Amino acid sequence: MSKHILITGGAGFIGSHLARHFAEQAEVTVLDDLRSGHAGNLEGVRCRFLPGSILDAAALKQAIAGAEEIYHLAAMISVPESVAKPAECAELNTEGTRRVLEAALTAGARKVVLASSAAIYGDNPTVPKVESMLPEPKSPYAETKLAGEKLLEQYRVTHGLGTTSLRFFNVFGPRQDPRSAYAAAVPIFIAKALCDDPISIHGDGGQTRDFVHVTDIVAALAYAGGSKDMSATYNVGYGRSQSILALAQEIIQLTGSKSKIEHLPPRAGDIRHSVASTERLLSAGWKPQSSVSVGLAETIAAFRRLKA
Ligand SMILES: NC(=O)c1ccc[n+]([C@@H]2O[C@H](COP(=O)([O-])OP(=O)(O)OC[C@H]3O[C@@H](n4cnc5c(N)ncnc54)[C@H](O)[C@@H]3O)[C@@H](O)[C@H]2O)c1
């Protein structure tokens, strides 16, 4: 009999890629209240979609029953939104994670994997970011992701529940929403480039990020979910830094766009440099299968299909 997995937030960008990955080899349940996700992301995916919130005890109980592995991705995902609504962020991200862990324990699940974030490192200028660095969360979003990691550790130590936290760096790929108020750089730049519209960059564009193709985020999630040994916190990135300006130029070149780059005033609180140390994840036996250039080509092709 194939294993049963639950993906919270499975109708979102990353969650829907994970659901697709598991659909042919496992019984997949998705619990998602469509706060920022879209049911259309799961079109053609063999899964049981339960529209509902992780904060709804009955919905969570129904979704988690029989699940061996739980991939907990449901969250308030935006830093600016978390600053505007800190209490709602804490309820959804921290309390929501506690409820998922409690329900997992009650249901006898084997493993919970949390989608955590590089935001936890804050604006400490040291690069690369190593998991053992002192966390310096600078937003309610980062604070709640750190609290989630601590909760996973607590349930592992106190109750023997299998847990792994993965700190994602800057994830990109098809189905990432360029229209959301809090959209990320890659989907915005591609959407603008395909229309030959100007691409806006805050500041000089010299700020660097570790962009990771969603294929490798999915692979890391599945690897952690299936592992008996991975119980700590792991960065997931390529360990390669790319400036925002170079990213915009690469997208313009790959799309053959006539877009011009325009510079806006720097954004307050923007982190200058962020790149992952990937040593811990690599020594756990995981290897990336994709790359930024493969990911960009795939994402541009997907955006072109949507536009056609
Ligand atoms: N995209 C990135 O670069 C990135 C980086 C670091 C961490 N993460 C984390 O990865 C996870 C997935 O992010 P994403 O980029 O796919 O965002 P997303 O917004 O596409 O996915 C989040 C999903 O969670 C769902 N959700 C929100 N509240 C819910 C609730 N109460 N109950 C059930 N479902 C709920 C949303 O509807 C959405 O489908 C998040 O936890 C995010 O914090 C993402």
Distance 259 CA to ligand 1 centre (A): 30
Q: Contact 8/74 with Cβ under 8 angstroms?
A: yes
For 211-226, b/e burial (b = at least 16 CB within 10 A) is bbbbbbbbbbbbbbbe
3-class DSSP state for residue 221?
A: helix
Instruction: Kindly report the backbone phi and psi dihedral angles of residue 10, in degrees, each rounded to the nearest multiple of 5, phi listed first.
Output: -75, -10
Point out the catalytic residue in the list 141, 155, 223, 238: 141
Which residues on neighbouring strands pair with residue 4, listed in sequence order? 27
Percent of all residues in the chain with a pLDDT value above 90, rounded to a whole number? 91
**Dihedral in degrees, nearest 10, Cα atoms 251, 11, 40, 184:** -20
223 belongs to the catalytic site = no
pLDDT of residue 203: 95
Distance 9 CA to ligand 1 centre (A): 6
Q: Which domains are seen in the chain, by residue range? A: 3-171+213-238+277-283 (3.40.50.720), 173-208+241-275+290-307 (3.90.25.10)
Distance 76 CA to ligand 1 centre (A): 6
pLDDT of residue 81: 94
Q: For residue range 70-118, what is the model confidence (pLDDT) as tens digits?
A: 999 999 999 999 999 999 999 999 999 999 999 999 999 999 999 999 9
- pTM, two decimals, is 0.97
**295 Cβ closer than 6 Å to some ligand 1 atom:** no
Q: Contact 242/211 with Cβ under 8 angstroms?
A: yes
Distance of alpha carbon 96 from alpha carbon 57, whole angstroms: 10
Q: For residue range 102-161, what is the model confidence (pLDDT) as tens digits?
A: 999 999 999 999 999 999 999 888 999 999 999 999 999 999 999 999 999 999 999 999
Q: For residue range 220-233, what is the model confidence (pLDDT) as tens digits?
A: 999 999 999 899 89
